[in-house]
């Protein structure tokens, strides 16, 4: 996976910060978005993030996800 790739959430991932479902559980499984970043550095220091991939979905919604939760859309 690289920044700019289209990806699909392939596992059940429940979030509570989706703008249309604020403070309610929302499952991202099946949603498609674009990888916009990789959390590998913070303040010029290398880090090991638990959820390294930043994915932007339709609108302004973004979420950090694991490698195993995503699949590249061809």
| 6-72 placed in CATH 2.30.30.50 | yes
pLDDT, averaged across the chain: 92
DSSP string, 35-66: EEEE--EETTEE---SS-EEEE-STT-EEEE-
Q: What pLDDT, in 10s, does the model give residues 17-42?
A: 999 998 999 999 999 999 999 988 78
Quick one: the chain helix, strand, coil %, rounded to 5?
10, 40, 50
- Please choose, from the candidates 57, 48, 64, 62, the residue with its C-alpha nearest in 3D space to the C-alpha of residue 7: 57
**Residue ranges covered by each domain of the chain:** 6-72
Give just the sign of the alpha carbon dihedral 66, 40, 4, 21. positive
Determine contact, residues 58/36, Cβ cutoff 8 Å. no
């Amino acid at each position: 996976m690289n920044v700019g790739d289209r990806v699909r959430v392939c596992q059940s991932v429940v979030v509570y910060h989706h703008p249309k479902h604020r403070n309610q559980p929302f499952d991202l499984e099946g949603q498609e978005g674009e990888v916009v970043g990789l959390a590998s550095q913070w303040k010029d220091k290398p880090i090991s993030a638990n959820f390294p991939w930043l994915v932007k979905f339709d609108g302004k919604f973004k979420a950090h996800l694991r490698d195993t939760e995503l699949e590249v859309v061809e």
